A and B are shown apart, each in its own frame.
Chain A
Amino acid sequence: MNELSRWTLALGAATFVAASSHAAHAADSVVIGDIDDMSGVYADVEGAGGVEAINMAIADFGGTVLGRKITVLSADHQNKPDIGASKFREWADQQGVNLVLGGSNTGVSIAMAKVAAVKKVPFIVIGAGGASLTNEDCTAYSVHYVYDTTALANGTATAMVNAGNKTWFYLTADYAFGTQLQDAAAKVVEAHGGRNLGAVRVPLGAADFSSFLLQAQASGAQVLGLANAGTDFSNSLKAANEFGITRTMKPAALLAFLTDIHSLGLKTAQGLYLTTAWYWDLDEQTRAFAGRFFARIKRQPTMDQAGAYSATLTYLKAVKAAATTDADRVMAQLKKEKINDMFTQGGYIRADGAMIHQMYVMQVKTPQESKYPWDYYKVVRKMSGEEAFGPLTGRCPLAPK
Chain B
Amino acid sequence: MRATIVLYVLLGLLALSLPWLGVYPVFLMKLLCFAMFACAYNLLLGFGRMLSFGHAAFFGFAAYVTSWLITAHGAGPATAALCGMAVAALLGVVIGGLAIRRRGIYFAMITLALGQLVYFVCLEAPFTGGENGLQGVPRGTLFGLLPLRSDRVMYYLVLAAFVAVFMFIRRVVHSPFGHVLRAIRENETRAISLGYDINRYKLLAFVLSAALSGLAGSLNSLVLGFATLSDVQQSASGEVILMTLLGGTGTFFGPVVGAAIVITLQEYLSDVVGGWVTAIIGVIFVACVLSFRRGIVGEIEALRLRRTRPGAAGPAAHA
Contact = CB atoms under 8 A, between A and B. Distances in A.
Contact of A10 (B7, B21, B24, B301): B7
Interface residues of A, number: 40
A220 interface: no
B133 A82 contact: yes
B123 A203 contact: yes
B232 to A, nearest CB: 12
Contacts of B7: 3, 6-7, 10
B41 to A, nearest CB: 19
B133 A20 contact: no
A4 interface: yes
Contacts of B18: 17
Interface in A71-87: 76, 80-83, 85-86
Q: Please report whether the interface of chain A is mostly helix, strand, loop or mixed according to DSSP.
A: helix
Interface in B69-84: none
A4 B300 contact: yes
B228 A82 contact: yes
A115 to B, nearest CB: 8
B26 interface: yes
Nearest to B230: A82
Given A13-B11, A20-B24, A20-B27, A8 B130 contact: no
A125 interface: no
Nearest to B6: A6
Interface in B121-141: 123, 130-133, 135-136
Contacts of A80: 228-230
B304 interface: yes
Contacts of B261: 12
A81 B226 CA distance: 9
B97 interface: no
Nearest to A93: B24
A21 B264 CA distance: 12
Given A12-B257, A21-B21, A81-B226, A107 B132 contact: yes
Interface string A89-113: 1100110000000000011001100
A3 B123 contact: no
B312 to A, nearest CB: 13
A89 B26 contact: yes
B224 A82 contact: yes
A176 interface: yes
Nearest to A79: B131
A250 interface: no
B304 A9 contact: no
Interface residues of B, number: 49
Interface stretch (B110-118, B199-207, B248-256): B248-256
Contacts of B27: 20
B22 interface: yes
Nearest to B120: A203
Contacts of A86: 26, 224
B33 to A, nearest CB: 13
B191 interface: no
A21 B22 contact: yes
A328 to B, nearest CB: 20
B291 interface: no
A5 interface: yes
B22 A5 contact: no
B26 A90 contact: yes
A218 interface: no
Interface string B1-37: 0011001001100110010011110110000000000
B290 interface: no
A39 B275 contact: yes
Given A10-B7, A85-B224, A5 B301 contact: yes
A19 interface: yes
A90 B271 CA distance: 13
Interface in B255-291: 256-257, 260-261, 264, 267-268, 274-275
A3 B2 CA distance: 11
A89 B24 CA distance: 11
B300 A8 contact: yes
A17 B132 contact: no
Contact of A19 (B130, B225, B268): B268
Contact of B319 (A1, A10, A176): A1
Nearest to B231: A82
Nearest to A1: B319
A211 interface: no
Interface of B: 3-4, 7, 10-11, 14-15, 18, 21-24, 26-27, 123, 130-133, 135-136, 151, 224-226, 228-231, 251-253, 256-257, 260-261, 264, 267-268, 274-275, 296-297, 300-301, 303-304, 318-319
22 contacts: A2-B304, A4-B300, A5-B297, A6-B4, A8-B297, A10-B7, A10-B11, A19-B268, A20-B23, A80-B230, A81-B132, A81-B133, A82-B133, A82-B226, A83-B230, A85-B226, A93-B24, A107-B132, A110-B132, A110-B135, A175-B130, A176-B132
Interface of A: 1-10, 12-14, 16-17, 19-21, 39, 76, 80-83, 85-86, 89-90, 93-94, 106-107, 110-111, 114, 174-176, 203-204
Pick the 7 closest A-B CB pairs, nearest first.
A1-B319, A21-B22, A175-B131, A107-B132, A114-B136, A82-B228, A111-B135
